[in-house]
Amino acid sequence: METQSYYLAKIKENLSMRQRGNPHYSLRAYARDLGVHPATLSQIIKGNRPLPLKNSSQVLEKLNLGPKERTLFMESLLKSKVALDEIKISDLDERFMLDESHYKIISEWEHYVVLDLFELKSFEASLIEIAQRLGVTENRAEVVVNNLLTAGLLKVDETGRFQKVHDDVRTTEDIKSQALKDSHKETMRMGIDKLEEIEVELRDFSSATVAIDLNKLPEAKAIIREFRQKMSALLRDGEKTDVYQLAIQFYPMTKTTKQKN
Rounded to whole angstroms, how far apart are CA atoms 228 and 148? 24
In this prediction, residue 80 has a pLDDT band, given cuts at 50, 70 and 90, of confident
Distances (CA, A) of 112 to 102, 144, 244: 12, 10, 11
* Statement: residue 1 has pLDDT above 80: no
Average pLDDT over the chain, rounded to an integer: 89
**178, 238: one domain:** yes
Question: Tens digits of per-residue pLDDT, 173-232?
Answer: 888 899 999 999 999 999 999 999 999 989 999 898 999 998 889 889 888 988 888 888
For residue 74, count other CB atoms closer than 10 A to its CB. Answer: 24
Residue 30 corresponds to which amino acid?
Answer: Y
Q: Please report, for the domain that includes residue 177, its CATH number.
A: 1.10.10.10
- Over residues 63-73, mean pLDDT: 90
**172, 257: one domain:** yes
Is the residue at 226 inside a domain?
A: yes
Is the residue at 1 inside a domain?
A: no
Go through the chain and tell me how many residues it has. 261
Q: Are 179 and 107 in contact (CB under 8 A)?
A: yes
* Statement: residue 66 has pLDDT above 80: yes
- Over residues 96-112, mean pLDDT: 92
Q: Which candidate, 104, 149, 102, 157, places its Cα nearest to that of 130?
A: 149
Q: Please tell me the total count of domains within the chain.
A: 2
Q: Which of 15, 44, 79 marks a domain boundary? A: 79
Is the residue at 88 inside a domain?
A: no
**137, 249: one domain:** yes
**116, 163: one domain:** yes
Q: Domain span at residue 220?
A: 94-261
CA 247 to chain centre: 13
